[in-house]
Amino acid sequence: MQTIISPSILAADFTNLISDISEIEDVKDLWLHLDVMDGHFVPNLTFGIPVIKQIKKITNIPLDVHLMVTNPEFHFEALKDSEIENITYHFEINCDHHAMIKKYRNNYKSIGLSVKPSTDLESIPLDLLKEIDLLLVMSVEPGFGGQSFMPNALDKIDYLNKLKKENNLKLQIQVDGGINQDTAKLCLDKGAHNLVAGSYIFGKAKDQYKTQIETLR
């Protein structure tokens, strides 16, 4: 499986998203990472459903929605016909995860669960890991771009890969936060499949976006 890179538009130019997104439109094995923050689950506030629907109209890049919200079900419901490639929400919120995933199983190609740096993977029941398509390991505290990579994410990737082998789990491992050329290599060496990067890509000049993406692989 080719490594997927998922550039986060959190670091892009919100006053000219078309221009930033079209710069990477034809890159292969690419997702577009959309960080939805509600000001409750995380202190920061970004954008929501109307903006995601507008973005869907201006690009063919598969959309990767990362919900940092206390009420993900509202977003799952509202986006269920929007042909989202992957939608991820946080394990830490108070919800019946089995019921939630079962309810939307047929509306989404891929459903992910995410864990904050302080959440132990051991606290996720194995039968839940069997139901999801992606596990997003946060390598920074969710809420802000431009933070430094927290190395405990590497142990989590390691642990997940062992669990995958032992239990024949199909989920892909995504890492998000502080990804650059060096931390990307550490994650890939441990067996990550999918890397989210904001500042490392959109923090550079437009003509460098593609090279930045390739150096991460």
- Judged by the rule CB under 6 A, the positions of this chain that interact with ligand DX5 are 8, 10-11, 33, 35, 66, 140, 142-143, 145-147, 176-179, 196-200
Partner that binds at residue 193, options ligand DX5, Zn ion, none, CB closer than 5 to 8 Å by kind: none
Q: Which one, of 136, 193, 187, 196, lies nearest residue 158 by Cα?
A: 187
Of 31 and 209, which has the nearer Cβ to Zn ion? Answer: 31
Residue 175 backbone dihedrals phi, psi, to 5 degrees:
-125, 140
Strand intervals (E) in the chain:
4-7, 32-37, 63-68, 86-90, 110-115, 134-138, 172-176, 194-197
Partner that binds at residue 34, options Zn ion, ligand DX5, none, CB closer than 5 to 8 Å by kind: none
Nearest approach, Cβ of residue 76 and ligand DX5 (Å): 18
Q: Which of 35, 134, 153, 184 binds Zn ion (CB under 5 A)?
A: 35
Determine whether 120 is an active site residue. Answer: no
Partner that binds at residue 48, options ligand DX5, Zn ion, none, CB closer than 5 to 8 Å by kind: none
Query: Among all chains, which residue has been given the structure tokens 């490639």?
Result: 85
Kindly indicate which of the ranges 60-68, 89-97, 119-127, 153-161 contains the residues binding Zn ion, using the contact rule CB under 5 A: 60-68
| Residue 111 near residue 104 (C-beta atoms within 8 A) | yes
Nearest approach, Cβ of residue 189 and ligand DX5 (Å): 19
Of 6 and 76, which has the nearer Cβ to ligand DX5? Answer: 6
Of 66 and 90, which has the nearer Cβ to Zn ion? Answer: 66
DSSP letter assigned to residue 30 = B
Provide the token pair at 116: 């904050």
Which candidate in 176, 182, 189, 207 is catalytic?
Answer: 176
What would you report as the CA-atom Rg of the chain, rounded to the nearest whole angstrom?
16
| Residue 97 three-state SS | helix
66 interacts with Zn ion by CB under 5 A: yes
Partner that binds at residue 72, options ligand DX5, Zn ion, none, CB closer than 5 to 8 Å by kind: none
Report the first-to-last Cα separation within the chain, whole angstroms: 12
| Residue 184 near residue 195 (C-beta atoms within 8 A) | yes
Which candidate in 35, 96, 120, 182 is catalytic?
Answer: 35
Determine whether 13 is an active site residue. Answer: no
Q: Which residues are catalytic?
A: 35, 176
